[in-house]
């Protein structure tokens, strides 16, 4: 009797044939649970990540460890939240008494997938509002500490434009160094002009003869050097500036490439985690639906009177 009720007939009754095959109440309930659990686990993961990270060298987890831990936590979050949401969607859906077992299995799978889809869309919709506010609030003390440190003169952290200005200014000052006392005002030397000229020539591909001759005359005048020494200083300084800028550009390109690869890997792993979440939600929905049908059949069998032989 129990087996017959679970399998059901091939034909649908009038009630089952006209009713919707989707129990949206169960889908929304499962999606709400999945989204809430995702939020909780996400906040917990951020807290654990900030606890493990450290701005000091030699302390805290390494970047590779944090990256692997982030991927593992993301996968765990998807599996746990999707599993709970899918199970609830299958367990809370209505009973399809006259629907074939294969159709019940398909509907349970669809309910789990819909619960995962609604939860994913809800999480994406609120990621920049509610969840974003929580994450920003949790990281605000760390951000404030970094900004306070950056404002401190002892540990000031200049940005790239400030670093570039300081670097080029250093090479510009190299042109006017002199061991001989001069009656001229060294502060009036055309530092800005020479720096701008050198930067232009670096971008253009090389120091032009006109700029080199002009720079040689200026250095010989303001630094008190001979034409030969001034020309050598101009050539050496320009070479060092050109090498420093190219090294900085290569390092910036390497950092950008590393960031690109990290973003690509994160996107791929995020896709895999979402795909696993969709599968796990659908699978758990079948478990929840089967459990609900088993309980319903058991209760019905207990209420029916036993058939006694004549």
Q: What sign has the CA pseudo-torsion 262, 266, 267, 269?
A: positive
**What's the pLDDT score for residue 84?**
94
**What's the pLDDT score for residue 142?**
47
**What's the pLDDT score for residue 152?**
40
Give me the mean pLDDT over the 136-158 stretch: 45
Q: Looking at the structure, do residues 242 and 186 belong to the same domain, yes or no?
A: yes
pLDDT tens digits for 234-279? 889 888 888 888 898 899 999 999 888 888 888 888 899 999 999 9
Q: Looking at the structure, do residues 116 and 147 belong to the same domain, yes or no?
A: yes
Give me the mean pLDDT over the 205-230 stretch: 85
**Overall domain count for the chain:** 2
Q: Looking at the structure, do residues 87 and 191 belong to the same domain, yes or no?
A: no
Residue 261 forms part of a structural domain: no
Q: Looking at the structure, do residues 189 and 242 belong to the same domain, yes or no?
A: yes
Residue 82: is its pLDDT beyond 90? yes
Residue 67 forms part of a structural domain: yes
Q: Looking at the structure, do residues 197 and 230 belong to the same domain, yes or no?
A: yes
Contact yes or no for 13/95 (Cβ under 8 A): no
Angle formed at CA 82 by CA 77 and CA 85, multiple of 5 degrees: 130
The first and second tokens of residue 207, run together, are 């120091």
Residue 281 pLDDT level (bands cut at 50, 70, 90): very high
| More confident position, 135 or 80 | 80
Residue 94: is its pLDDT beyond 50? yes
Domain housing 206: 160-250
**What's the pLDDT score for residue 4?**
40
Q: Looking at the structure, do residues 79 and 172 belong to the same domain, yes or no?
A: no
Residue 264 forms part of a structural domain: no
Q: Looking at the structure, do residues 190 and 125 belong to the same domain, yes or no?
A: no
Q: Looking at the structure, do residues 125 and 184 belong to the same domain, yes or no?
A: no
Residue 115: is its pLDDT beyond 60? yes
Give me the mean pLDDT over the 209-234 stretch: 86
Residue 256 forms part of a structural domain: no
Q: Looking at the structure, do residues 41 and 177 belong to the same domain, yes or no?
A: no
Residue 97 forms part of a structural domain: yes
Q: Looking at the structure, do residues 73 and 213 belong to the same domain, yes or no?
A: no
Helix pair 101-125, 24-52: axis angle to 10 deg: 50
Q: Looking at the structure, do residues 290 and 277 belong to the same domain, yes or no?
A: yes
Residue 287 pLDDT level (bands cut at 50, 70, 90): very high
Q: Looking at the structure, do residues 7 and 141 belong to the same domain, yes or no?
A: yes
Residue 2 pLDDT level (bands cut at 50, 70, 90): very low
Residue 267 forms part of a structural domain: no
pLDDT tens digits for 15-74? 555 566 788 899 999 999 999 998 888 888 888 877 777 666 666 667 677 778 888 888
**What's the pLDDT score for residue 158?**
40
Residue 294 pLDDT level (bands cut at 50, 70, 90): confident
Helix pair 130-151, 24-52: axis angle to 10 deg: 10
On average, the pLDDT of the chain sits at 74
Q: pLDDT > 70: what percent of the chain?
A: 64
Dist CA 127 CA 125 (whole Å): 6
Residue 57 forms part of a structural domain: yes
| More confident position, 115 or 206 | 115
**What's the pLDDT score for residue 245?**
86
Contacts of residues 263-268 at CB distance under 8 Å and 24 or more positions apart, as own/partner, are: none
pLDDT tens digits for 161-170? 444 544 555 5
Residue 94 forms part of a structural domain: yes
**What's the pLDDT score for residue 151?**
43
């Amino acid at each position: 009797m129990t087996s017959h009720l679970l399998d059901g007939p091939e034909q649908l009754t009038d009630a089952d044939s006209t009713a919707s095959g989707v129990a949206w109440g169960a889908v929304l309930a499962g999606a709400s649970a999945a989204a809430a659990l995702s939020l909780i686990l996400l906040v917990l993961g951020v807290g654990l990540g900030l606890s493990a990270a450290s701005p000091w060298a030699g302390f805290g987890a390494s970047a590779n460890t944090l990256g692997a831990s982030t991927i593992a936590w993301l996968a765990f979050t998807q599996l746990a939240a999707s599993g709970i949401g899918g199970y609830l969607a299958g367990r809370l859906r209505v009973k399809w008494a006259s629907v074939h077992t294969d159709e019940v299995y398909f509907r349970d799978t669809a309910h789990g997938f819909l619960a995962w889809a609604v939860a994913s869309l809800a999480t994406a919709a609120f990621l920049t509002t509610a969840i974003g506010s929580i994450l920003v609030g949790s990281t605000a003390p760390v951000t404030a500490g970094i900004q306070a440190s950056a404002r401190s003169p002892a540990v000031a952290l200049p940005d790239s434009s400030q670093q570039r200005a300081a670097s080029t200014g250093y090479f510009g000052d190299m042109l006017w160094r002199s061991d001989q006392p001069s009656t001229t005002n060294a502060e009036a030397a055309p530092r800005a002009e020479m720096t701008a000229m050198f930067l232009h020539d670096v971008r253009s591909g090389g120091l032009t003869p006109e700029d080199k001759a002009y720079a040689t005359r200026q250095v010989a005048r303001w630094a008190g050097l001979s034409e030969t020494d001034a020309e050598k200083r101009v050539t050496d300084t320009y070479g060092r500036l050109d090498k420093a800028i190219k090294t900085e550009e290569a390092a910036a390109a390497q950092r950008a490439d590393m960031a690109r690869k990290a973003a690509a890997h994160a996107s791929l792993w995020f896709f895999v985690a979402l795909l696993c979440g969709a599968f796990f939600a659908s699978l758990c929905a079948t478990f929840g639906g089967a459990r609900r049908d088993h309980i319903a059949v058991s209760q019905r069998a207990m209420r029916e009177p036993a058939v006694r032989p004549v």
